[in-house]
């Protein structure tokens, strides 16, 4: 009896000394805790309890990513300038504006010729000799025949001042667009249609804002920071970075040395991960267009495969169904009678695998739209890695290449 009391006293003193020496470490230990308890016969003993985690491992993951993996910062894609809609179009850009604000979706007018999508095909409307002047009721043109010069269209609200190297200014007051670009691609861009602004230097550093999606991206030589609502992603030059979803209470911290600590609802888990690759850059600005017209006979809706599907899968993710429901509603209300769905991948894995995966993904989108009430004639294609829109040498390029495109004729 006396020995038990002595041992318990020694244990209690040890705990007290340890607590004084380590400050708050005792409170932070979530794995186990030691407490002194009194037995039924009055003796005091030490008891150690083990905290058991009740968190499902899936709750520790970012949807669509592996355990401890931090998502890539989405690539900034700027809309084309000077888009003109055909009066006989069956579907207008205004009808897809709400859809374009959804995460992972872009809407672009395109020209389709011989089964090939021609993106941003702009044409210069110049005189017969390629140079000269014109003055009309609402339009004035002064051009040197090489795309440089000045253009003003009061009816469309468009003004252009362009140098031979593509630098200059572009303004569309009706759409709230302004562009100031230098010959090296640096400059500023604002677009009130989408609440979008971009300030970029020649090395890809700068700042991007999209108030429609509550997105902010800042990039400098040492780190890139992305915020969208409750989500923040940080990538650093030393290979470290972090992810935080304040709405869910999930945090991931990559130390850049092969370890990541995941925190969720007060519990922590350490896992092995690869250091992050810091290569993110904001896009340089395009040259000022010679004339603000784009030949468009179709509208292309691009869906990010990372939003629709898990890695290397073709089943529609539950989180993507709301977006596809919105798309189905627009297609139905616009009385679209036919369109095509094209699946594309990056160059990871072999060509046969990628082609099959892209075909399956296109068919999954088709099946879901049909189940949501779309009755149009839908054709599907799986092009695998054969039609990239960006390089496959960078993570940002691969992200752009992993996509599903829906092409809708408008003429």
Q: Is pLDDT above 60 for 125?
A: no
Q: How confident is the model at residue 397 (pLDDT cuts 50, 70, 90)?
A: confident
Q: Residue 134: its pLDDT value, please?
A: 58
Partners of 198 in beta bridges: 189, 208
Q: Residue 110: its pLDDT value, please?
A: 66
pLDDT for 57-95, tens place per residue? 888 999 989 999 999 999 998 877 743 444 555 555 555
Tokens of residue 389, six digits: 């829109």
Q: Is pLDDT above 60 for 48?
A: no
- The CB density around residue 351, as the number of other CB atoms within 10 Å, is 12
Q: Which of 217, 232, 193 is nearest to 83 (CA)?
A: 193
Q: Is pLDDT above 90 for 21?
A: no
Q: Residue 323: its pLDDT value, please?
A: 87
Please tell me which residue, 110 or 305, carries the higher pLDDT value. Answer: 305
pLDDT for 279-295, tens place per residue? 999 999 988 876 443 34
pLDDT (average), residues 18-40: 41
Q: Residue 33: its pLDDT value, please?
A: 40
Mean pLDDT, the chain, whole residue set: 78
Please tell me which residue, 181 or 303, carries the higher pLDDT value. Answer: 181
pLDDT for 104-122, tens place per residue? 677 776 666 666 665 543 3
| 310 in Cβ contact with 318 (< 8 Å) | no
Q: Residue 287: its pLDDT value, please?
A: 86
Least confident of 265-269, 343-347, 406-410: 406-410
Tokens of residue 163, six digits: 């140098």
Q: Residue 410: its pLDDT value, please?
A: 66
List Cα–Cα distances, 318 to 39, 102, 294, 302, 366, in angstroms. Answer: 53, 15, 36, 19, 16
Distance, CA of 265 to CA of 215 (rounded, Å): 25
Domains of the chain (ranges; CATH) run: 2-52 (no CATH), 53-82+126-292 (2.60.450), 83-121+294-411 (3.30.1330.60)
How do 116-119 and 105-113 pair as beta strands?
antiparallel
Please tell me which residue, 286 or 259, carries the higher pLDDT value. Answer: 259
Q: Residue 213: its pLDDT value, please?
A: 87
Please tell me which residue, 176 or 334, carries the higher pLDDT value. Answer: 176
pLDDT for 376-394, tens place per residue? 999 999 999 998 888 999 9
Q: Residue 169: its pLDDT value, please?
A: 94
pLDDT (average), residues 144-152: 75
Please tell me which residue, 205 or 163, carries the higher pLDDT value. Answer: 205
Please tell me which residue, 98 or 351, carries the higher pLDDT value. Answer: 351
Q: How confident is the model at residue 15 (pLDDT cuts 50, 70, 90)?
A: very low
Least confident of 201-210, 328-337, 363-372: 328-337
List Cα–Cα distances, 183 to 78, 124, 147, 153, 387, in angstroms. Answer: 18, 19, 14, 24, 29
Q: Is pLDDT above 90 for 142?
A: no
DSSP of 114-142: TTEEEET-B-----TTS-EEEE-SSEEEE
Q: How confident is the model at residue 189 (pLDDT cuts 50, 70, 90)?
A: very high
């Amino acid at each position: 009896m006396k020995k038990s009391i002595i041992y318990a006293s020694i244990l209690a003193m040890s705990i007290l000394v340890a607590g004084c020496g380590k400050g708050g470490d005792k409170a932070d230990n979530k794995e186990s805790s030691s407490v002194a308890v009194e037995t039924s016969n009055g003796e005091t003993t030490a008891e150690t309890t083990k905290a058991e985690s009740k968190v499902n491992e899936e709750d520790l993951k970012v949807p669509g990513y592996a355990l401890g993996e931090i998502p890539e910062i989405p690539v900034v894609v700027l809309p084309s300038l000077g888009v003109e809609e055909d009066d006989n179009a069956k579907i207008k850009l205004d009808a897809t504006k709400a859809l374009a604000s959804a995460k992972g979706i872009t809407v672009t007018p395109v020209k389709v010729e011989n089964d090939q999508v021609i993106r941003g095909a702009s044409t210069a409307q110049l005189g017969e000799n390629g140079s000269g002047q014109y003055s009309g009721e609402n339009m004035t043109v002064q051009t040197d025949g090489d795309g440089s010069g000045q253009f003003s269209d009061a009816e469309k609200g468009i003004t252009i001042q362009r140098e031979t190297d593509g630098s200059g200014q572009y303004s569309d007051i009706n759409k709230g667009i302004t562009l100031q670009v230098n010959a090296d691609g640096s400059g500023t861009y604002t677009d009130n249609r989408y609440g979008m602004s971009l300030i970029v230097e020649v090395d890809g550093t700068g700042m991007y804002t999209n108030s429609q999606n509550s997105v902010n991206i800042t990039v400098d030589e040492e780190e890139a920071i992305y915020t969208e609502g409750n989500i923040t992603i940080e990538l650093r030059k030393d290979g470290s970075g972090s992810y935080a979803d304040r709405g869910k209470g999930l945090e991931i911290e990559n130390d850049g040395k092969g370890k990541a600590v995941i925190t969720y609802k007060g519990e922590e888990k350490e896992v092995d991960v690869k250091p992050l690759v810091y290569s993110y850059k904001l896009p340089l600005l395009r040259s000022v267009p010679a004339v603000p017209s784009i030949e468009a006979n179709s509208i292309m809706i691009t869906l990010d495969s990372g939003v629709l599907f898990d890695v290397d899968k073709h089943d529609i993710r539950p989180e993507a169904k709301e977006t596809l429901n919105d798309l189905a509603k627009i297609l139905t209300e616009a009385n679209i009678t036919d369109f095509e769905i094209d699946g594309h991948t990056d160059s990871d894995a072999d060509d046969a695998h990628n082609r099959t995966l892209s075909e399956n993904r296109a068919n999954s989108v088709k099946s879901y739209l049909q189940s949501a009430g779309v009755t149009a004639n839908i054709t599907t294609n799986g092009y695998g890695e054969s039609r990239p829109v960006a390089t496959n040498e960078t993570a940002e390029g691969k992200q752009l290449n992993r996509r599903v495109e829906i092409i809708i004729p408008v003429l």
